[in-house]
Structure 1
Amino acid sequence: MEDNQDLIKLIQSKFQRMSKGQKLIAEFILKHYDKAAFMTASKLGNSVGVSESTVVRFADELGYNGYPKLQKALQELIKTKLTTIQRIELSSDFISEENALKNVLKADIDNIRGTLEKINSNTFEEVINRILKARRIYIMGLRSSTALADFLGFYLNLILDNVRVVNYGVSDAFEQLLRLDENDLFIGIGFPRYSSRTIEALRYAKNNGATAIALTDSLLSPLSADADYTLLAQSNMASFVDSLVAPLSVINALIIAVGLREKDKTSNTFEKLERIWDEQKVYAERDGFI
């Protein structure tokens, strides 16, 4: 069941052969697949008036090894399809004002845990090697991923001094990538809903011989399709706000790993920075300390 795009068609094709209870589940999913994607088997069963075991058998009927596999397929299906308005409506069903703090923190914990299970340590190490070998490093992330790109670019540039964050402003992204070639590296950061501009830029970098790295949520991501290396970070959230906790954690790991590889250079850089910060009073004094 790898092709999630065919899930709706699969349900429709099997509908006539399903039991009465399974048909109720199928009808609910076809009409409300955005909500069903975040329901437990028990909650889905209660919503349509069938038992939890009927929901599990429904997943088996579709060829999934348990309900969690079906749920994951539904979540993959809706990631790029929900508008912001739909996300707002969805979040109100699963997150209330009273439990927002607990639910969001729990979801982010789950995202960190899922990332730890998904990310490939060998790929991570190879990305570090490529970063250290690159002549120039270009980083691009738009929309909500802009903060991630800026954070990564800020710290990597302190360590390596050959990093450029590609912005979408006065000059076009492709003008900023004009001199990119096989000696360079491009890091594209994107999560649902994926920015088409970042996808195009990563593809451009790959076609011009640069090493293309994607930081995204799935190997099914359009960024991953053209990347030489993909770093996975889970970003599931039943909300209109994107969850960037796990992606930022992966970025922290990248920065720290690069800094440890370039330990002497990093120490010298921050010694100079500490003197500058002290002289320029960059940080506010507190209780007699700076």
Structure 2
Amino acid sequence: MKENADLIKLIQLNFSKLSKSQKLIAEYIMANYDKAAFMTAAKLGEVVGVSESTVVRFANTLGYDGYRDLQNDLHELVKNKLTTVQRISLTNDYTNKENLSKRVFKKDIANISKTFDELDYDNFEKAVETILNGERVYVLGLRSSSFLAGYLGFYLNFILNNVKVVTAGPSDVFEQMLKVTSNDVVIGISYPRYSSRTLDALNYVKGKDCKVIGITDSILSPAAQISDITLIANSNMVSFVDSLVAPMSLINALIIAIGMEKREDITNYFEDLESIWKEYSVYNLNSKDKNN
């Protein structure tokens, strides 16, 4: 199935050739795609009043290999459209807290596995090289992505001398990025629900010929359409909380890869830092350290 297919338009185009039962499925999806996206084939069939096999044949009729492929497109459709209230309603049947916690862990593990399996290593290497060659490196991530941006910026500042984390503080993001040039790099982190401010800022720096590295959840995401280099880390949600475990893992890999390229510089830097941390008791010492 083509990744850029608009599922609703696809259903509309094929509606006339669907069977009576399949039309019931089509009508339900078009009216309730936010709910259908998180139903199994059996559950969708039960709600509509048809068999599970009819749901699978419906997906095949639209050109999908199976219901799971259709469901993947449904997920893409709803990612940027579900409100927080709608997200909460998706998990109101998880009354067993043990089962809920296991489901969350399994979803995070699945996100990391999918990210690992599908990571474009050529793009990863290009991102490392681009960051190292940037005159200045800006890290931008707002809303829930601000935590990822802060983490990435915190460690990049140990490695590079030219890093600025763009925050939603007293100065507007555009004011903080006013002086970007074509020699600079902007790392834009954007996850559903995609921040309009982040996307506007990325379009702004793109217009100044700045290199843009996007860290996002899908090649179809708005940030990916703007970026010169895109790194994908899955964040499929369970509820109103975004799963940022896989993006954090990807960011860890990026930090370490950059650090290894600057190993000699950061070794000397951290030796100086260790002396400062010890002198000013930045970190708590255990009893063994204190005796020494």
Count of equivalent residues: 290
Please tell me the root mean square deviation across aligned C-alpha atoms, in Å. Answer: 1.8
Q: Secondary structure at the match of 1:91?
A: coil
1:257 lines up with 2:257 in the alignment:
yes
1:41 maps to which residue?
41
Q: 1:187 to 1:150 in 2, by over 3 A?
A: same
Asked if structure 2 preserves the Cα contact closer than 8 Å seen for 1:34 and 1:90, the reply is: no
Point out where structure 2 has 5 or more consecutive residues left out of the alignment: none
1:119-158 to structure 2, matched below 5 A, reads 119-158=119-158
Secondary structure at the counterpart of residue 91 of structure 2:
helix
Corresponding residue of 1:206: 206
- Cα distance in 2 for residues equivalent to 1:132 and 1:96: 48
CA contact (8 A) 1:4 1:74 kept: no
Distance, in Å, in 2 between the alignment partners of 1:253 and 1:172 is 30
CA distance in 1, matches of 2:94, 2:52: 19
> What's 1:283 paired with?
283
Alignment of 1:153-232 (within 5 A): 153-232=153-232
Cα distance in 2 between the residues matched to 1:95 and 1:109: 22
SS at match of 1:143: coil
Asked if structure 1 preserves the Cα contact closer than 8 Å seen for 2:185 and 2:210, the reply is yes
Counterpart amino acid of residue 129 in structure 1: E
Are the equivalent residues in 1 in contact too, given 2:104–2:238 (CA < 8 A)? no
Q: TM-score under structure 1 normalisation?
A: 0.94
Range moving further from structure 2, 169-178 or 94-103: 94-103
Secondary structure (helix, strand or coil) at the match of 1:179 reads coil
State the Cα distance separating 1:4 from its structure 2 match.
5.7
Contact persistence 1:235–1:242 (CA under 8 A): yes
Deviation track 1:10-33 (CA, whole Å, cap 9, x = no partner) reads: 324434432343233223323322
SS of alignment partner, residue 43 of structure 1:
helix
- Aligned to 1:55, the other structure's residue is in SS state helix
Cα distance change of structure 1 residues 35 and 95 upon mapping to structure 2, 3 Å threshold: farther
Q: In the TM superposition, what is the alpha-carbon distance from 1:224 to its structure 2 partner?
A: 1.1
Give the whole-Å Cα distance in 2 for the aligned partners of 1:254 and 1:159: 12
Matched residue, 1:273: 273
Q: Deviations over 1:227-275 (max 9, x none)?
A: 1100011111131011100111110000000011111111112112222
Deviating more after overlay: 7-16 vs 119-128: 7-16
Displacement, 1:95? 7.4
Once the 2 structures are TM-superposed, how far is the Cα of residue 92 of structure 1 from its aligned partner?
Answer: 2.0
253-262 or 168-177, which moves further after superposition? Answer: 168-177
Larger deviation: 82-91 or 250-259? 82-91
Q: Which runs of no fewer than 5 residues in structure 1 stay unpaired?
A: none
Alignment-derived partner of residue 27 in structure 1: 27
**DSSP-derived class of the 1:38 partner:** coil
Kept in 2, the 8 Å contact 1:112–1:245? The answer is yes
> Percent of pairs identical after alignment?
56
**1:227-246 mapped onto 2 (5 Å cutoff):** 227-246=227-246
Residues 59, 265 of structure 1: CA spacing in aligned structure 2 closer, same or farther, 3 A cutoff?
same
1:170 shift after superposition: 1.0
**SS across alignment from 2:288:** coil
Q: CA offsets per residue over residues 134-177 of structure 1, 9 Å max, x none?
A: 11000100000000000000000111121000112211111111
Structure 2: distance between partners of 1:45 and 1:116: 33
